[in-house]
Chain A
Amino acid sequence: MNPIYERFPWLLMARRNVSRTPVRSALAALGIVIGVLAIASLGVFGTTLQYSVTQNLGGIGNDVTVSPATDHGVQYLTDRDVREVRRAVSTDVVVPVEQGRGTVTYGRSQTIAPLYGIDRPGGIFTAADGRIPTPLRSGVLVGSSLADRLGVRAGNSITVNGKTYRVKAVLEQQSGISAVNANGGLVVPPAAVGQQGYDQIVVRASSARTANRSAMAIKARLNRRQTRVSVFEFSSITKQISNVFDVVNYFLVGIGSISLVVAGVSILNVMLMSAVERRQEIGVLRAVGYQKRDVLVVMLTEAVLLGVGGGVVGVVFSAAAGLVINQVILGDPTFTFAPTNLGFFAAAFAFAFVTSLLSGLYPAWKAANRDPVEALRS
């Protein structure tokens, strides 16, 4: 005999019983397959969406902006504030920004656009066309949508507030949420804005965690005596987005779970039928010395076999579905095996196991407790 059956002898009987009515067993297991597939692939789908959206947000979570605390009468940030911020965060990129508006003329088109006076814009912007000089002294950088509108390219000359500058670079398109969104504006040398002090300081850290640490350090240093600055962490936005996706994910998985419960009902049905059909056979087992508990174990093993069989097939199918989903949405099929997704696979399988066990309980109990005399009466 097979060593597994030697170890777990009731498994032999349960397995043979399951294969006795192959179509019926397969259908019951199919219910579980669908349930597991629903839970796991919806879970994976949710994770993929979440990942894809946070990917699109890019490193926004790494940004912190420091603005003057206008509630406390602070109108602008000074060079001293910038120095304090630099000291507080030491390793991060610190970019002070002055904001204003200006009339921009290129050829025959004229428009009013926001101006961002930044000395070293290379820390927070990337060029789509041309090169970003450090420091920015004589030229300007044009935001992508403004460049589109005016038809400006790197190397052209452009007039801002009556003064002509060379366009050093056209900036890359930025996502909707960013510390300084210069899509529709110009990055100019600070002198071109000509304001007193700075409107904000952008601090870019290497990760959301260091960004958080920097934010704390800045608050501690600058607001020690009186509140001078307000600090905004962009990671709070990504956190909120993540939370929304978590809720969506749980909702999707919850819907998937319903199908697994339905699958459990179908196992219950199959096991009840099986218990009725095998009434006499179970009577014989009881007659030849099987305790009630033994019959219960055999019947439960049958139900669990359906659940585990369906669960394994379901997980394999969900992994396949996950590969497809991730290939299509992220272009990276291996993301299917991210820890969160493995968690969904495990949870779906565990749910299948528990569902089948619970579904088998009543029929098994019924079969085990039937009076053998009654069962053997033909």
Chain B
Amino acid sequence: MSERESPPVGAERSVRVVETRGLTRTYQSGPETIEALVDVDFHVERGEFVAVVGPSGSGKTTFLNLLGLLDRPTAGELYITGEDATALGERERTRARKRFIGFVFQQFYLIPTLTAQENVEVPRLLDRDAETPKRAAALLTQFGMGDRLDHRPDELSGGQKQRVAIARSLINEPRLVLADEPTGNLDRTTSRRILEEFQRICTEGVAVVAVTHDELVEEYVDRTVEIVDGELTA
């Protein structure tokens, strides 16, 4: 965390996908101030697979929400691909999420009325891009779901749903995929396959940050950081 100078424009490889400096998030609960996250310095390189572990209520999800621009820090700075994203407004953060970040959730959160392929298209659905359906189909095929394009979520197994969710997180060609307990609802064999998929994404240059309780994840990641009581330890 010592390299604080900004890299030259165009030096894509050396740009950190995401970087935080002194990131702090506190909540006001009546007269009490709850420190969910305190002074976190953190960064992820291109193509890196990082696990964030820690006990329940330690601030992992708060951290993920901040990295994903869903929440705003109380103090500290946040950079996405070298650009300051700390003070972005609501609309800009939404736009930046769309451009740089993919999300994968424990409960998959697929839209039950849409097919697998349409679910993958969802983030780009309003763009009226004729290429989107092809790209969605190609992504699903990559994840071995080529024969399930027209299946509704309730016709898919947990592992299949999570693969649809991962494909959805990649449809916008993000730099960073944030996964909240991605194996939490899956059995061990399926979990391994999902984690292999994440590894494969990383070889394509996408960084993955996974918040997890699952020790299995640690076998697959490049690096594990731990959050305890809102403080990050490498």
Contacts and interface: CB of A to CB of B under 8 A. Distances in A.
B94 A290 contact: yes
Contacts of A20: 112-113
Contacts of A71: none
A50 B88 CA distance: 65
Contact of A291 (B94, B102, B125, B128): B94
Contacts of B169: 288
Nearest to A9: B125
Interface string B95-124: 101110011011101011110001000110
B234 interface: no
B114 A13 contact: yes
Contact of B103 (A6, A13, A284, A292): A284
B10 to A, nearest CB: 26
A373 B109 contact: no
A142 B99 CA distance: 95
Interface stretch (B64-72, B75-83, B155-163, B199-207): B64-72
Contacts of A288: 97-98, 102-103, 122-123, 168-169, 172
A357 B165 CA distance: 32
B126 A16 contact: no
Contact of A286 (B94, B102, B133): B94
A373 B70 CA distance: 6
A258 interface: no
**Size category, B interface:** 20 to 34
Nearest to B117: A1
Contacts of A12: 114, 118, 125
A158 B214 CA distance: 118
Contacts of B114: 12-13, 16
B91 interface: yes
B90 A292 contact: yes
Contacts of B106: 378
Contact of A13 (B95, B97, B107, B125): B125
B70 A287 contact: yes
A290 B103 contact: no
B19 to A, nearest CB: 21
Nearest to A283: B109
A285 B110 CA distance: 10
A288 B112 CA distance: 17
Interface string B130-150: 100100000000000000000
A289 B125 contact: no
Interface string A1-28: 1000011011011001101100000000
Contacts of B122: 13, 285, 288
A291 B109 CA distance: 18
Contacts of A373: 65, 70-71
Contact of A294 (B109, B112, B126, B168): B126
A378 B68 CA distance: 17
Contacts of B68: 287
A12 B115 CA distance: 12
B109 A284 contact: yes
A28 B125 CA distance: 27
Contacts of A9: 125-128
A254 interface: no
A320 B125 CA distance: 40
Contacts of B172: 288-289
A372 interface: yes
B202 to A, nearest CB: 20
A289 B70 contact: no
A280 interface: yes
A340 B109 CA distance: 51
B60 to A, nearest CB: 13
Contacts of A16: 111, 113-114
Interface string A272-296: 0000000011011111111110100
B107 A280 contact: yes
A9 to B, nearest CB: 5
Contacts of B127: 9
A105 to B, nearest CB: 90
A1 B102 CA distance: 24
15 contacts: A7-B128, A13-B111, A285-B122, A288-B102, A288-B103, A288-B169, A288-B172, A289-B94, A289-B98, A289-B172, A290-B94, A291-B91, A291-B94, A291-B95, A373-B71
Given A9-B127, A16-B113, A373-B65, 18 more contacts: A1-B133, A6-B128, A6-B130, A10-B126, A13-B114, A280-B109, A281-B109, A286-B70, A288-B122, A288-B168, A289-B95, A289-B97, A289-B99, A289-B172, A292-B94, A373-B71, A376-B105, A378-B106
Lowest 9 A-B CB distances belong to which pairs? A289-B98, A16-B113, A288-B123, A284-B109, A9-B125, A287-B103, A289-B97, A20-B113, A373-B70
Interface of A: 1, 6-7, 9-10, 12-13, 16-17, 19-20, 280-281, 283-292, 294, 372-373, 376, 378
